[in-house]
Amino acid sequence: MGNSALRAHVETAQKTGVFQLKDRGLTEFPSELQKLTSNLRTIDLSNNKIENLPPMIIGKFTLLKSLSLNNNKLTALPDELCNLKKLETLSLNNNQLRELPSTFGQLSALKTLSLSGNQLRALPPQLCSLRHLDVVDLSKNQIRSIPDTVGELQVIELNLNQNQISQISVKISSCPRLKVLRLEENCLELSMLPQSILSDSQICLLAVEGNLFEIKKLRELEGYDKYMERFTATKKKFA
């Protein structure tokens, strides 16, 4: 991609606060964006070949609200990313991330986090410190179990479809705001699904198709009627 084309994008972004450069075969984060650290609100560099984010630049976008780097080749995120105190949406689907920075809990404004199609092997504990987090997509990773820390998550929707989950802590029922739990295509036996999800949680949409049990068996469990009451009440609200 020619310099003049990139310059034109940078000039437009200076006016609009939005920098979008997808499908251009970029192998690195454009250093030209350094000039825009104080006015960019949105950056979208999806569908490129970017392998890392420059620590010296990425943490300086003080007004950034949305960052999308879906379909790149990121293997790690720099700690400096966590300086983005206004960031509300972070989309990193289909990269090669194995973990999140230990400082990830500092992204205090984060509302939506998409990490589908990475190489995470565990539920990142840092997510529990994010008080405004509404939606988390961790589908298509390599997560095997859901630990007790899950009870501290503040999310409304948690997508764990297409992992390798065979164990779930009963603490998932204590998530104060969790309404939608997606666990399709995992390795769950019915006996490993905490019954309190049905009888004693806020969850009103539980998606568990494609596990190691028949859905009709789920309907026979104690507490299923309570779950259906929540499901129906929510459905009516949005009808």
pLDDT per residue, tens digit, the chain (239 aa), is: 557 778 888 999 999 999 999 999 999 999 999 999 999 999 999 999 999 999 999 999 999 999 999 999 999 999 999 999 999 999 999 999 999 999 999 999 999 999 999 999 999 999 999 999 999 999 999 999 999 999 999 999 999 999 999 999 999 999 999 999 999 999 999 999 999 999 999 999 999 999 999 999 999 999 999 999 999 998 877 76
Domains (ranges, CATH) in the chain?
1-237 (3.80.10.10)
pTM assigned to the model: 0.96
CB contact set of 52 (below 8 Å; sequence gap of 6+): 28, 29, 74, 75, 76, 78
